[in-house]
Structure 1
């Protein structure tokens, strides 16, 4: 079990690391390839949009070919695409190859979660998911530091070449240890549903992301994709609820624990990814740190998460994801409020202590909610469950990032210190909403346990 878990971590870590690693090198790529600023931004945007496109297909493919085979194929495609990205001679080819890289990366995390869930069962799910959670949460956090160190002495090509040895090792171990999974009977692919969600999800994520850049809903470039994406998602949801053999089984939401865990993941994701955007800007814009210093300053956050994540998994298995997520989100609120009072001259030691404590809070809030949702469904429903929860986390992350970007951009021209204080108050509010969703999950789990029939022992007559 632990061998499989550690192998799956390879895929999760490298796919999440790439979301922030390449962003550091956009300016170097622009200069090397002679591209415009607008064009080079698509190197990052195309990857994120492609991540969203591939998610809805993960559950169907996992049932069709076996989730282990899907994971291996996705990891192989990601590794090959990484090598091809390093060979790209112009910006157009690089963007196209980043799409391929993003599509394969989008399959790695939900496929890995399904493999682990089917391998260990609900009673030990928290412990193994916590190992995967270390990779998912620490990858974006340390990406800027690794990218900055690479660019300090090497060319931009190494932002992609770094994935090759990790990919080769991960695939080799996966061929040996990862179970291939069962090929199940699946209905015909719902092409209409696939088109609706594959267009609706990236359009919605793109529209929400553009809100953070344009700082207005009135812009056509924001409003049109946002409305089109929302319409596509609503149409997909209506079709999937009514259709037999849908692309993604949304009837799982009839289970109150699964529904509460999924919603808690949505709001926790918004608070978590909003903070991931805000903290690097805090060090760069307010404290004047460079990219490498910023990345190193955030290491204490990752250390706190890494140390406590296994404990979080054990607590989830022992007491339930609801109560752990509730305490974790409550602790997140307490570790966010101090930043609303701190200025640019705050001592570095104080900041590191707060970031370490926030890393602990992140470990207690991020994974337990999703784990509770997975534990509430049957083994054969895990491919659909992991797909849906990851989609909700992606949407929540886009909304949280856009919220932070809009609030900060509106207040930044007046006074940087005031702007960050205001934004941290908004981030605190988002964490309070996450506390509310975690409370719902805790109550749903309590009610589910109360509804279980109590086994009685009937004496046998001698």
Structure 2
């Protein structure tokens, strides 16, 4: 066993022991993120196979998201109480079990039920992965740790449509779930062998009141928000009733969380100015960026009439751009102020988003692919340093709670962004006379080519307006981003020197 002075985390680079842990964490996290985008391209297939409406099959996505929202708040407490290794292994087992059951689904109801079980495991993987990695590497190397964890965040949106499209075209829908079984088995064995031994703190009491307020509150809020695209308006009772009840429960949790010594989510972390600023920036950024990026494959499918596989391949430049910038940004985040890196990344994204506001049905593919690469570079430079800014001032005990908090914020923001952009796009498309006439077949045969061309142009215009909304939101994100530190933040008092990683 190494002495503290020679601890692996004491060096400047991520050593072999930490990289081994990273490989296990990334393997598990990539499954949960990849599964979201793989399933998203399979929704039309589910409609056909199970004879269900789009609104019904969309619950395979919504149910998974709600399960994530329900279980994420528990993760910080459970990680302290039972240990991150045990909990990570449990999350992997739940996720793989849910995947197997999904592949055996006999109707849409059973598939939605099994997706919820899968989401209970998947929801714990990312916050647990962040906690395991930051504890192993130490506070001085969180930037590089976040860069490693950024890999699955990139692989999901890029690899999901490609993998899903290929499996749906070449194999069957069952394989979008069965693919998790061999990956999960490898991740499970690796977790048992590689992850450091648990050191749980069983003294903390569980916040039952907080659990009864926050988890249902988040689930109801996201249910309401997720219903907006289907209903096309915020004024629907299907949207307003659960969303308002959810908000009331979350507000009730906020007042409750300031009283107990060990709340479910420690809102006292917001006394940390840097974490607060980083959280606000992350929320606005996730609404704008993730909401907009969800539309890009839809543009290729609906406007340019590409296949699912081709649309997935066309997204590759974004991932390549992020892969170039993310390791550099992670290294710089440990050596200089994250504010400079985040502002650079957001500035680059804003340039790309500005181009997308001018998109039409005939925009050059060279321009589109160049913009996606540029935005990938910006995302790689902005996303992980934001996480670094939030976590690098926390000590060993509060990292689990901090990473849980950041994951809740990101999950809620991404859902809000998806709903906002979907509603903007849907309203624009529904307002098109040409699209309406084509849908109702109220036209003469000789009018069909002109109507089809106009419908394509109107759809492209709807995407441009949605990207304009995202562009404005992104500019607003620059305001809190300016408040992020421009100089390196020293390790906080109480953050222990990184401990030796014991392999067993």
Alignment of 1:419 onto 2:419: no
> Do 2:146 and 2:387's aligned partners in 1 also have CA atoms closer than 8 Å?
no
> Do 1:18 and 1:140's aligned partners in 2 also have CA atoms closer than 8 Å?
no
Task: Give the Cα separation in 2 of the matches to 1:89 and 1:288.
Answer: 31
Alignment of 1:159 onto 2:202: no
Map Cα deviations across residues 291-333 of structure 1 (whole Å, 9 max, x no partner): 1111111011111112221111111111132221121111111
Gaps of 5+ in 2: 1-17, 433-457, 494-504
Task: Give the Cα separation in 2 of the matches to 1:138 and 1:312.
Answer: 18
Residue of 92, 106, 111 corresponding to 1:94: 111
1:213 deviates by 2.8
Task: Give the Cα separation in 2 of the matches to 1:186 and 1:265.
Answer: 32
Deviates more, 1:161-170 or 1:84-93: 84-93
> Do 1:16 and 1:135's aligned partners in 2 also have CA atoms closer than 8 Å?
yes
Alignment of 1:434 onto 2:477: yes
Indicate the residue corresponding to 1:266 in structure 2.
283
> Do 1:323 and 1:438's aligned partners in 2 also have CA atoms closer than 8 Å?
no
Task: Give the Cα separation in 1 of the matches to 2:282 and 2:245.
Answer: 24
1:34 deviates by 4.0
Task: Give the Cα separation in 1 of the matches to 2:225 and 2:475.
Answer: 21
1:314-333 matches, cutoff 5 A: 314-333=331-350
1:33-432 matches, cutoff 5 A: 33-412=50-429, 413-414=431-432, 415-432=458-475
1:335 deviates by 1.3
1:240 deviates by 0.6
1:337 deviates by 0.4
Task: Give the Cα separation in 1 of the matches to 2:73 and 2:63.
Answer: 17
Map Cα deviations across residues 99-145 of structure 1 (whole Å, 9 max, x no partner): 11001100000000000111111111111211111212331232122
Task: Give the Cα separation in 2 of the matches to 1:440 and 1:212.
Answer: 34
> Do 1:267 and 1:437's aligned partners in 2 also have CA atoms closer than 8 Å?
no
Give 1 or 2: higher helix fraction: 1
1:32 deviates by 2.8
Task: Give the Cα separation in 1 of the matches to 2:336 and 2:367.
Answer: 32
Map Cα deviations across residues 200-236 of structure 1 (whole Å, 9 max, x no partner): 1111112122223322121100111110111111111
TM-score using structure 1 length: 0.93
Deviates more, 1:134-143 or 1:393-402: 134-143
1:154 deviates by 1.1
1:340 deviates by 1.4
Deviates more, 1:316-325 or 1:66-75: 316-325
> Do 2:63 and 2:115's aligned partners in 1 also have CA atoms closer than 8 Å?
yes
Task: Give the Cα separation in 2 of the matches to 1:344 and 1:90.
Answer: 38
CA spacing shift, 1:405–1:32, aligned 2, 3 Å: closer
Map Cα deviations across residues 21-47 of structure 1 (whole Å, 9 max, x no partner): 112222323333344444322212111
- C-alpha root-mean-square deviation of aligned residues, in Å? 1.8
1:356 deviates by 0.7
Gaps of 5+ in 1: 453-462
> Do 2:359 and 2:461's aligned partners in 1 also have CA atoms closer than 8 Å?
no
> Do 1:248 and 1:388's aligned partners in 2 also have CA atoms closer than 8 Å?
yes
CA spacing shift, 1:259–1:209, aligned 2, 3 Å: same
SS in 1 for 2:22: helix
Number of residue-to-residue matches in the alignment: 449
> Do 1:369 and 1:438's aligned partners in 2 also have CA atoms closer than 8 Å?
no
